[in-house]
A and B are shown apart, each in its own frame.
Chain A
């Protein structure tokens, strides 16, 4: 079965995502990362490296390491003069004024470079999902012209991919938020990436997006923010120590990394420390860089960069003949939109609209592309949307406790069984009380139904095995079956509408359970202690009866006293749990003592074992309370 992926083929980094079980998932590449550098290198030995490996050798092989190929794809040589100045590799004119890179004596097109990146992404995706990836949706900036779109499509073809569609990056971002389901809305997509800034205004209606306007700055991004911090650090160091760190390549690299880290930290804290010990040395010895950067200072250092976003936003609004009040939704894309000052700017420009930013801004475009790929491959439309049970389901067991069989948020359809038993000797019927809710005690939960299973063969308590099965079908219809494993007798009930509670009602029940968690836990413990005490008392009585005269009188008297104390305690309303546990444990010890003493005094094959009933391969989880 062929799989279709969504690919965000970026200027600096690329991301690939796939629909899996109806949900988009970002794929982890072979280097363990979610972002793959859009870098391709040809080593001196003629080997081709892509992604992280290509990036690692860029410093020693700058002329054969191609990055930012996206700035050249589908463009004419005469159009890209300003871009050529920014890159260390050789760019020449090919046939029909097409752009070519001169690499190791060969002429390579930007499409070929992009195709190497696409091929790697598709290969990593195949490895990750364990299925061959053949089809893809690839995103491009909204301002890409036909030639640039065609070239991107060609890159996909060269990579051996069937390009299902080329879609706009802002459209993909809007898709990731499900905005295609909105009726007649105007959406602004604000995309501040590593090196480019794009703002787009879209209109959506009937699932179709129309780009009303785009604007941006092709050389503005997170890297510029990092550089401001680097310059501030280096300037400060120069003033204090008289040493220029930016001239030392290694020091510069450490500064750049520390700057990026500081920037990321300042998105969540208001001050960060930058510490670079042994950054350099002079005749007086080694020097350390220790500085603190407050968010306020960072905002001041980058204020003009943030302000550079204002013009394009205004321009896009003007071009689409709209005002900020016409914008219904704002979507943030690109890692730099995590910067608080950038978010504040967006809020200021589009007053009163809370931007959509719950999806990782580095991945939102690839996720939207994957959703589109899923739709085109027929997966999303046909996918069975699996529901979950909003509340836990279970039955009432001894002591009025709810024993859950299906926990809340379990994906349905589902089937769960457990084996229960009787609570009293010779109990011939059990009441199955079906409950829904999160509280510990049956009486605090909602009753879905009752039924009674009769005709259980008289036996000691805990011996009969009653299997209770909950089956919830895809429509939320619950069928509860109880089966006596001994006689095969079965009783069942079907409850529909168990999942038809209103959202509010479900929330209330869940909150209610959280609010009562401590109290419920205490009551649950209390009931468990009583159940355990009664069970041990029952065992002790039985054993004394069976052993008869072989029980020493003093032991018998002590056991009887303990049993009486337990019975009295468990009957009283406010029982002393600690004391009950103590009595239970004392009596348990005594029972063990009796068993071993009697084994010593009587011959083999003597009295019947007093150990709890054999469970076979089934474990008995709880006992029904006695049927009345």
Chain B
């Protein structure tokens, strides 16, 4: 916005300056213009980056929504895994039915690209494993996964949930 008092000063007679000398008003306006231009570029850049990220996030948001549902379901699968260890104690008709339910749940997740992975015998890797503790003894190379307490899952290229493991000391 133009400052009215300065405008008046400009119009006063006898206030002319040689053309090659920049008036302070010109200097000020130039500085203001370059500031405004900078701001304009910044806003454009912000918007451009924002748009790009929104595009990226739009692809990811469906994924994120599923993730909120799938992660607690994996805990149910963990319960199944624990239950399976005790199946010898129940009648055959029940254990086979139980295993069938477990398989169905697994295959629903696998159809969505959610895959369990084996960790036993692998070298401990914090990307794929979360350590619960060390295990002593044994003739195993230190740093090797010796027990899997809950399974790890991948989803496409990413680790959806690392496996919980014990590692050889």
Spell out A's residues near B (CB within 8 Å).
1, 20-21, 44, 49, 53-54, 56-61, 128-131, 249-250, 253, 277-278, 281, 285-286, 379, 382-384
Q: Is B25 an interface residue (CB 8 A)?
A: no
Query: Which of A53, A130, A285, A286 sits near B49, CB closer than 8 Å?
Result: A130
Report the minimum CB–CB distance from B40 to chain A (whole Å). 9
Chain A residue with Cβ nearest B52 = A130
Report the minimum CB–CB distance from B81 to chain A (whole Å). 9
Known A278-B82, A278-B86, A281-B86; judge A56-B50 contact (CB<8 A). no
Give Cα A221 to B1, complex, Å: 52
Give Cα A369 to B53, complex, Å: 23
Contact flags B15-53 to A (C-beta < 8 A → 1, else 0) = 000000000000000000001000101110111011011
Give Cα A60 to B127, complex, Å: 14
A59 with B46: CB separation less than 8 A: no
A60 with B39: CB separation less than 8 A: no
Known A20-B50, A130-B53, A382-B35; judge A277-B83 contact (CB<8 A). yes
Give Cα A285 to B126, complex, Å: 34
Chain B residue with Cβ nearest A279 = B82
Known A44-B143, A53-B126; judge A379-B133 contact (CB<8 A). no
A285 with B50: CB separation less than 8 A: no
Give Cα A382 to B31, complex, Å: 13
Give Cα A95 to B35, complex, Å: 48
Report the minimum CB–CB distance from B91 to chain A (whole Å). 14
Number of B residues, CB within 8 Å of A: 32
Chain A residue with Cβ nearest B86 = A286
B45 with A1: CB separation less than 8 A: yes
Report chain B residues within 8 Å CB of A131.
Answer: 45, 49
Give Cα A1 to B82, complex, Å: 54
B50 with A21: CB separation less than 8 A: yes
Spell out B's residues near A (CB within 8 Å).
35, 39, 41-43, 45-47, 49-50, 52-53, 79, 82-83, 85-86, 89, 124, 126-127, 129-134, 143, 149, 162, 164, 167
Query: Which of A21, A56, A277, A285 sits near B82, CB closer than 8 Å?
Result: A277
**6 A-B pairs (CB sep. < 8 Å):** A1-B45, A59-B131, A129-B53, A277-B79, A278-B79, A285-B86
Query: Which of B45, B133, B149 sits near A60, CB closer than 8 Å?
Result: B133
B131 with A57: CB separation less than 8 A: yes
Query: Which of A60, A130, A278 sits near B134, CB closer than 8 Å?
Result: A60
B46 with A21: CB separation less than 8 A: yes
B42 with A1: CB separation less than 8 A: yes
Report chain A residues within 8 Å CB of B127.
Answer: 53
Known A1-B42, A56-B129, A382-B39; further 14 A-B contacts with Cβ < 8 A: A1-B45, A20-B49, A21-B47, A21-B50, A49-B126, A53-B126, A53-B127, A57-B124, A57-B131, A130-B53, A249-B133, A250-B149, A278-B82, A383-B39
Give Cα A379 to B53, complex, Å: 20
Give Cα A553 to B169, complex, Å: 99
Known A249-B132, A277-B82; judge A56-B49 contact (CB<8 A). no
Report the minimum CB–CB distance from A376 to chain B (whole Å). 15
Query: Which of A21, A250, A382 sits near B132, CB closer than 8 Å?
Result: A250
B82 with A57: CB separation less than 8 A: no
Report the minimum CB–CB distance from A94 to chain B (whole Å). 29
Report the minimum CB–CB distance from B87 to chain A (whole Å). 11
Report the minimum CB–CB distance from A272 to chain B (whole Å). 14
Report chain B residues within 8 Å CB of A21.
Answer: 43, 46-47, 50
Give Cα A567 to B164, complex, Å: 76
Give Cα A49 to B50, complex, Å: 30
Report the minimum CB–CB distance from B71 to chain A (whole Å). 11
Report chain B residues within 8 Å CB of A49.
Answer: 126
A59 with B132: CB separation less than 8 A: yes
Give Cα A391 to B130, complex, Å: 53
Report the minimum CB–CB distance from A410 to chain B (whole Å). 15
Give Cα A59 to B134, complex, Å: 8
Give Cα A100 to B47, complex, Å: 45
Report the minimum CB–CB distance from A30 to chain B (whole Å). 11
Give Cα A383 to B40, complex, Å: 9
Report chain A residues within 8 Å CB of B167.
Answer: 60
A128 with B133: CB separation less than 8 A: no
Report the minimum CB–CB distance from A55 to chain B (whole Å). 8
Query: Which of A20, A54, A253, A382 sits near B126, CB closer than 8 Å?
Result: A54
Report chain A residues within 8 Å CB of B83.
Answer: 277-278, 286
Chain B residue with Cβ nearest A28 = B57
B46 with A58: CB separation less than 8 A: no
Report chain A residues within 8 Å CB of B46.
Answer: 20-21
Report the minimum CB–CB distance from A245 to chain B (whole Å). 14
B42 with A56: CB separation less than 8 A: no
Give Cα A58 to B124, complex, Å: 12
B131 with A56: CB separation less than 8 A: yes
Report chain A residues within 8 Å CB of B164.
Answer: 250, 253
